[in-house]
Amino acid sequence: MHVLIQKLKDQIMKSVRDSNYRFTSTGIAIDRTYQKGVKFLKKTGPYNEVVSGGGWVNLGANRYIWGEFSSRAVTPQVIITEISTRITVADNQVAFMDRNERLLYRAISADEILNFYNLISKDPKMLTRMMGK
């Protein structure tokens, strides 16, 4: 599974390379301690961002399992979202940031993650079509 996640991230980067999108990966570990979660995520890393520690109630689980993008509380999951941001600058500093996020795809289970990898490997433009670009 760890190698598959690494390959999937590489394939997603290739899929959006020639578009106006950039790929950012966030690793979310539901371990109770930060150290244990980071150790686990290193197997599938690197990541641009990491959420670790706090178990099933950490900020990542709160958003993507219990919150706005709620789902079943299972691992592993791969969640693909489209994020748009608008930043307002005043006096040479960020004064306001508006962030919108839209769920594009969720794979729950190793089988679904493998199927998703196979889909975007065969059709690299699938993701940009999902985003409407």
pLDDT in tens, the chain (133 residues): 899 999 999 999 998 888 888 899 999 999 999 999 999 999 998 999 999 999 999 999 999 999 989 899 999 999 999 999 889 999 999 888 898 999 999 999 999 999 999 999 999 888 888 887 5
- Domain range for 75 is 2-130
Structural domains in the chain (count)? 1
- Contact yes or no for 78/5 (Cβ under 8 A): yes
Residue with token string 């930043």: 87
pLDDT of 29 reads: 96
Q: What residues have CB less than 8 Å from 7, skipping those under 6 apart? A: 117
Distance CA 50, CA 71 (A): 20
